[in-house]
Amino acid sequence: MNTLQEISKVLLSSKKIGITYHVSPDGDAVGSALALLNGLKFLNKDAYLISKDIISENLQFLKSSSEANGKVIKPLSETDVVVVVDCGNFERISAELKEFKGSIINIDHHISNDKYGKFNYVDINAAATAEIVFELLNIMGINFDKVNEDLYEIGTCLYTSLVTDTGGFRHSNVTSRTHKIASKLKEIGVNNTYIYQSLFDNNSFEKIRLIGKSINNMELLLDRKVSLIKIPKSYGEELNIEIGDTSDIISFGLQIKGVEVSVLIKETENGSKASLRSKNEIDVRKIAEKLGGGGHVKAAGITMNGLNLEEAKDKILEQIEKELL
Ligand code: 5GP
Ligand code: MN
């Protein structure tokens, strides 16, 4: 593993820097990438975003989010470095990097990280990748010690990552460092209410109806310790919406007394995509890894190509049952 000092030196001596994240980027992926992007631009570096994904609507209030426009999906010519944030596996990067000849810098907080970079920095104690990016920006000379428009925008990206990857500072991954960074950002004027409202109080009526339909088909299984929601593609067609981020829907399962694991399975073009969340002791990353997925102890996911919703459900329940014994 490398130090952040080494990574800072590499970035400061690079001429052209691409930044990317994991496919279907969530708040931490987007917030960390845009904080680094806006930070490098603040330092007058030539930096840009690479993204196969379009950033979800509720994250489009972040500065430079419009750079994810589907046009830049691989490094531009003369790029010397590509930084990948919040992504544990090479296959899950939202950029075409197979033919890239420059250096890859991997900055992440997943336990299951393959160290695919030339430079790697993985801190599994960081609640969000943004905690690492905050430290890196400090080392590069951005100190978040005054009220200033640029620092406000970078801080807003970082705070968004912290809020989204900690469930609004409620998950057990939160440490005193998480709060110290949030406190520092608040001091320079970052607006927590604006961020919260942009993220969560900004749904279309159709999205709320999707939540209703999904909760309606929720099942309680395995002695009522597991909640399970299936979202067929037809729901999106009936409501005329894209079924994008569903992390808000899966959290309803954990709100039920006695539920230890919440499962949500979406029908996709290629089969199914499952998400798993754990309330206490059960390690859902372990369950996901057995089925080819990964993630964190309390939040994991699996891409299950070739399996329909029922087949995916059976495979997941079989593994959860073993963990519940
Ligand atoms: P989500 O359920 O929100 O898609 O993902 C939760 C966590 O699991 C995230 O940390 C994400 O990176 C990881 N994850 C989600 N889907 C997959 C997958 O198909 N493969 C792997 N290795 N990790 C995944
Ligand atoms: Mn993350």
Q: Is the CB of 313 under 6 A from ligand 1?
A: no
Structure tokens at 48: 């840009």
pLDDT band with cut points at 50, 70 and 90 for residue 198 = very high
Q: What is the pLDDT of residue 255?
A: 97
Residue-range domain boundaries for the chain: 4-200, 205-324
pLDDT of res. 52: 97
The CATH architecture of the domain made up of 205-324 is: Roll (3.10)
Between 5 and 243, whose confidence is greater? 5
Pocket-testing residue among 22, 32, 92, ligand 1, by greatest number of atoms within 8 A of Cβ:
92
Helices 176-187 and 129-139: angle between axes, nearest 10 degrees:
60
Could you tell me which CATH class the domain 4-200 is placed in? alpha beta
Q: Give residue-wise pLDDT tens across range 226-255.
A: 999 999 999 999 999 988 889 999 999 999
Lateral strand order in the sheet of 119-122: 46-49, 16-20, 81-85, 103-108, 119-122
List pLDDT tens digits, range 118-177.
999 999 999 999 999 999 999 999 999 999 999 999 999 999 999 999 999 999 999 999
Encode pLDDT of 109-126 as tens digits: 999 999 999 999 999 999
266 lines ligand 1 (CB under 6 A): no
Question: How far is the C-alpha of 31 from the C-alpha of 189, rounded, in Å?
Answer: 17
CA distance 113 to 163: 22
CA–CA distance, 128 with 49 (Å, rounded to integer)? 20
Residue 276 Cα: closest atom of ligand 1: 2
Q: Are 316 and 266 in contact (CB under 8 A)?
A: no
